[in-house]
Amino acid sequence: MRIRTVADELSLEDDLVIAGDNAPVLEKLPEGAFDLVYMDPPFNTGQPRRRDTVAVRADSGSARIGFGGRSYSSRLLQTLRYEDRFGDYLDFLAPRLRRIRKLIAAHGTLYFHIDYREAHYCKLLLDEVFGRDAFLNEIIWSYDYGGKPRRRWPAKHDTILVYVRTPGGHFFDAEAVEREPYMAPGLVGPEKARRGKRPTDVWFHTIVPTNGREKTGYPTQKPEGVVRRCVAASSFPGGWCLDPFAGSGTLGAVCRQLGRRFVLIDSSPTAVEVMRERLTPERECGALASSCLQLSS
């Protein structure tokens, strides 16, 4: 894997992490080269996205009382943050999407990850850029974590809009996707229940576990399990995948696991450092996560 900037020559000889605004970088990448583009842009929440990593230890001299009535103190180890406020969100996305469409191979697919605030506006934009007939799926990723307001239905899903480069001509390997248990295994025969079912367009999947192996501490990091389904279904082994808003490099980690090649771009120097750490093979998985508590806002 090589770390590059837009000033460097960019060729697909090795996996790449590219530091910088994705707009000029996308211009330098070869057209038609990618089986899959997964993109998870900032959701335009209007707030900076921030995650603090805090080390907690027992401290009999502290007034802070935690689980089991034991007193503890905490120390801030690091703060990872990026801005998430755009004057005109669709004007920001549109030129990038136009270029991304050209980078996708004739058999290729775009997975566009967004939340309820902007999903409907983005759907209209994607229809315009890719064509309505190129729309393949609306995937709902349902999770269950965090606060639940009492005056409305708690929002606990993201939307992944899926578009293909060539309507009817896309690659999709349904058998490559891991099966999941039937909701009511008693309604199917024992053989079917044992094999499980192919996932539908509603994916129930936990967020990145707080102290799991894959946790990097980067704000809004997406779970590998969700991205793995996209990569397994819509890219060839050995094929190239692109993430222009790569954050902690989840797409790269999944590509490594599934034997795909990757190009990851992010404008945040912190994200690039997190990716360097995560995707360097010698990384001791989970070393940070196992000893720290992650707090996000």
Ligand X SMILES: C[S@@+](CC[C@H](N)C(=O)[O-])C[C@H]1O[C@@H](n2cnc3c(N)ncnc32)[C@H](O)[C@@H]1O
Looking at the Cβ atoms of 239 and 249, the one nearer to ligand X is: 249
Exactly one of 44, 109, 220, 294 binds ligand X (CB under 6 A); that residue is: 220
Kindly state whether residue 218 participates in binding ligand X, applying the rule CB under 6 A. yes
Looking at the Cβ atoms of 107 and 158, the one nearer to ligand X is: 158
- Tell me the window of 51-59, 228-236, 260-268, 285-293 that interacts with ligand X (CB under 6 A): 260-268
Kindly state whether residue 235 participates in binding ligand X, applying the rule CB under 6 A. no
Q: CB of 117: closest distance to ligand X in angstroms?
A: 13
Kindly state whether residue 265 participates in binding ligand X, applying the rule CB under 6 A. yes
Q: Give the CB-nearest residue to ligand X.
A: 247
Tokens of 244: 């222009």
Q: Name which of 147, 276, 295, 270 is nearest 210 in CA terms.
A: 295
Q: Considering only residues 42 through 101, tell me which ones interact with ligand X, judged by CB under 6 A.
A: 42, 82
Q: CB of 95: closest distance to ligand X in angstroms?
A: 11
Exactly one of 222, 228, 261, 278 binds ligand X (CB under 6 A); that residue is: 222
Q: CB of 41: closest distance to ligand X in angstroms?
A: 6
- Tell me the window of 73-81, 160-168, 231-239, 241-249 that interacts with ligand X (CB under 6 A): 241-249
Q: CB of 224: closest distance to ligand X in angstroms?
A: 9
- Tell me the window of 2-10, 69-77, 152-160, 244-252 that interacts with ligand X (CB under 6 A): 244-252
Kindly state whether residue 10 participates in binding ligand X, applying the rule CB under 6 A. no
Q: Considering only residues 12 through 41, tell me which ones interact with ligand X, judged by CB under 6 A.
A: 21-22, 40-41
Exactly one of 248, 252, 254, 263 binds ligand X (CB under 6 A); that residue is: 248
Q: Strands 157-164 and 135-142: what pairing?
A: antiparallel
Kindly state whether residue 247 participates in binding ligand X, applying the rule CB under 6 A. yes
Q: CB of 9: closest distance to ligand X in angstroms?
A: 19
Cβ–Cβ under 8 Å, residues 114 and 148: no
Cβ–Cβ under 8 Å, residues 25 and 18: yes
Residue numbers of the site for ligand X (CB under 6 A)? 21-22, 40-42, 82, 218, 220-222, 245, 247-248, 250, 265-268, 271
